[in-house]
């Protein structure tokens, strides 16, 4: 497995029922697709019972980013989503050890959960080190997609941020290629990137690819406050 620690090989047990009830939601794809009404809204009121700002980590693995953000920002709520269960079990262990009350994890296919997010419910979303395109027939499995961008245009609150980080030039190129489909998302100049995010944490994958000398590319997209004043993304 050339892409590093394979999540399914983690040696970790399922969380005990009380921790699972506190931190972990299981949203099976088929049920989510056929009966979305059976799931709570993916929002602060829906998952935390409050109205704090909400941030979403898509493909969060063991939660490196989302746990660091939750600890640094107790005034906000954080949700990590991953399609593989084992890394989420590890993330739950870590959340419990840190005593965090502002983080939840959802075991689900991220591509099916956007529709559960109410309009403007997110302050930020992160898609960091998404799996690259390995074969052309996997194109519809990519997390960087037209669906992601158009859904983020809807789900992000005005001024909200979508952060994408990748070590794959083709993933970055795909993001830029798709950007015109979401004209309310404005590509931010590097000088204006959220400093806190860069300095706060580098995930396992981030450190690994950086140590191997791979160039890390990053894009930050801001949801324009007013769609009548849409900005043209710079190229």
Ligand X SMILES: C[S@@+](CC[C@H](N)C(=O)[O-])C[C@H]1O[C@@H](n2cnc3c(N)ncnc32)[C@H](O)[C@@H]1O
- Which residues of this protein are in contact with ligand X, per CB under 6 A? 7, 59-61, 64-65, 81-84, 87, 109-111, 128-129, 131, 143, 203-206
Are the C-beta atoms of 55 and 76 separated by less than 8 Å?
Answer: yes
According to DSSP, the β-strands at 156-166 and 103-107 are unpaired
Q: Which is nearer to ligand X, 7 or 120 (CB)?
A: 7
Q: Which is nearer to ligand X, 151 or 186 (CB)?
A: 151
| Minimum gap (Å) between residue 5 Cβ and ligand X | 9
Token pair listed for 226: 């007013």
Measuring CA to CA, how many Å separate 207 from each of 52, 64, 80, 115, 212?
A: 31, 11, 20, 32, 9
Contact in structure between 112 and 32 (CB atoms under 8 Å): yes
Cβ 23 to ligand X shortest distance, Å: 17
For 201-216, b where at least 16 C-beta lie within 10 A, e where not — what string?
bbbebbebbeeeeeeb
The least CB distance from residue 145 to ligand X, in Å, is: 10
Residue nearest to ligand X (CB): 59
Beta strands 217-223 and 156-166 are antiparallel
- Integer Cα distance of 43 and 78 in angstroms: 10
Nearer to ligand X, 116 or 143 (CB): 143
Nearer to ligand X, 56 or 185 (CB): 56
Strand 103-107 with 24-26, pairing: parallel
Q: How far is the CB of 82 from ligand X (least distance, A)?
A: 4
Q: Which is nearer to ligand X, 94 or 233 (CB)?
A: 94
**Minimum CB–partner distance for residue 84 and ligand X (Å):** 4
């Amino acid at each position: 497995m050339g892409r590093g620690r394979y999540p399914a090989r983690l040696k970790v047990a399922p969380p005990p029922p009380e921790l699972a009830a506190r931190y972990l939601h299981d949203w099976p794809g088929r049920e989510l697709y056929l009966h979305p009404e059976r799931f709570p809204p993916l929002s602060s009121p829906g998952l935390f019972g409050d109205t704090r700002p909400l941030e979403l980590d898509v493909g969060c693995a063991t939660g490196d980013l989302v746990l660091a953000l939750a600890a640094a920002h107790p005034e906000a709520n954080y949700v990590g989503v991953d399609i593989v269960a084992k890394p989420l079990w590890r993330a739950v262990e870590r959340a419990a050890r840190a005593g965090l009350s502002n983080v939840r994890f959802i075991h689900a296919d991220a591509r099916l959960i956007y529709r559960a997010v109410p309009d403007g419910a997110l302050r930020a979303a992160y898609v960091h080190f998404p799996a690259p395109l390995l074969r052309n027939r996997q194109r519809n499995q990519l997390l960087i997609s037209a669906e992601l961008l158009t859904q983020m245009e809807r789900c992000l609150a005005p001024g909200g941020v979508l952060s994408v980080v990748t070590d794959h030039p083709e993933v970055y190129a795909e993001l830029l290629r798709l950007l015109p489909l979401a004209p309310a998302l404005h590509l931010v100049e590097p000088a204006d990137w959220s400093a806190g995010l860069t300095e706060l944490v580098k995930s396992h994958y981030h450190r690994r690819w950086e140590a191997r000398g791979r160039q890390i590319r990053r894009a930050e997209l801001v949801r324009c406050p007013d769609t009548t004043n849409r900005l043209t993304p710079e190229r």
